[in-house]
């Protein structure tokens, strides 16, 4: 099992005169994963008030209510794992569909947050800005 973060609450915090929304997630995993997470946080580790054995993860990034958590050796910290969404956005950019992707993703999140059932309709294919033939003309 990998570490998973589940949304608990949000609050506003001021950073350099700018108000930001902070999201608080509870962290779940195997006992050894949780122990490693707590150990890596050191004195900064905070726990859920209702259940003081459940550690918390604080972030200004909201992706969805339940997210995998990964360790970043580069930053020497744990964070929400957004690799999947980052890869999708990278592909959308490559195919010239970045705005369509952002709009579709935003609509999906809005539906999730409002409790609406996400449509099961077939997705529409984004329009490409350049065809393969234009990029690589065949003779």
pLDDT digits (tens, 9 = 90+) for 50-76: 999 999 999 988 878 888 898 888 877
Give the Cα separation of 98 and 90 in Å (integer).
8
119: exposed, middle or buried (Cβ count in 10 Å: 0-12, 13-18, 19+) = exposed
What is the percentage of the chain residues whose pLDDT exceeds 70?
Answer: 78
pLDDT digits (tens, 9 = 90+) for 15-60: 889 999 999 999 999 999 999 999 988 889 999 999 999 999 999 8
pTM: 0.64
Q: Is the pLDDT of residue 4 over 90?
A: yes
User: Which of 90, 65, 98, 92 lies closest to 80, judged by CA?
Assistant: 65
Average pLDDT, the chain: 79
DSSP summary character for residue 125: P
Residue 108 tokens read as: 């999906």
């Amino acid at each position: 099992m990998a570490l998973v973060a589940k949304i608990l609450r949000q609050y506003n915090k001021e950073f350099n005169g700018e108000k930001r929304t902070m999201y608080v997630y509870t962290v779940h995993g195997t006992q050894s994963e949780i122990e490693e997470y707590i150990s890596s946080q050191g004195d900064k580790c905070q726990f859920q008030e209702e259940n003081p054995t459940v550690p918390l993860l604080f972030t200004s990034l909201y992706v969805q209510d339940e997210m995998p958590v990964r360790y970043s050796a580069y930053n020497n910290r744990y964070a929400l794992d957004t690799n999947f969404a980052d890869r999708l956005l990278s592909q959308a950019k490559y195919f010239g569909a970045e705005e369509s992707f952002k709009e579709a993703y935003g609509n999906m999140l809005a539906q999730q947050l409002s409790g609406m059932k996400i449509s099961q309709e077939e997705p529409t294919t984004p329009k490409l800005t350049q065809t393969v033939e234009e990029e690589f003309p065949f003779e």
